[in-house]
Structure 1
Amino acid sequence: MSKVKIYYEDILVGEVVTNQSLTVDQALELIGFDEEKFISEQGFDGIDYNDFKLQY
């Protein structure tokens, strides 16, 4: 098992423990990512999914 941290640019979005490799979409689904809430909380106009990264 390993802990995977999900970042948007340098912002920690969440963490998940898994025993497999994940895509960004899978990781975001596992943490229940709410795009609209995140955009509102961060004061962004929108987000680019290419700016997400996973750190194992």
Structure 2
Amino acid sequence: METTVKVMYENILVGEVYTNRSLTIDEALELIGFDEAKFIEEQGFEDIDFNEFRLVY
């Protein structure tokens, strides 16, 4: 069964992945082509805490 997985940072939708298996945060961020520097700049953050990422199935 395939499903869409939302990659969230706090309450911010970072991206979505369509998959048929469970993923780690690192795998999901790689699949969406996450650019840490760009995300920090766009959101006006000084830094991010990778513990704040979560996946919503």
Report the TM-score when normalising by structure 2.
Answer: 0.97
Distance across 2 between alignment mates of 1:49 and 1:27: 13
**For residue 56 of structure 2, what is the amino acid of its counterpart?**
Q
Match for residue 19 of structure 2?
18
Runs of 4+ in 1 over 6 A off after TM superposition: none
Report the TM-score when normalising by structure 1.
Answer: 0.99
- Quote the sequence identity (%): 68
Aligned pairs, how many?
Answer: 56
Match for residue 35 of structure 1?
36
User: 5 Å matches for 1:36-55?
Assistant: 36-55=37-56
Contiguous gaps of at least 5 residues in structure 1: none
Q: 1:5-56: per-residue Cα shift (whole Å, max 9, x none)?
A: 0000000000000001000000000000000000000000000000000000
**Cα-Cα RMSD:** 0.3
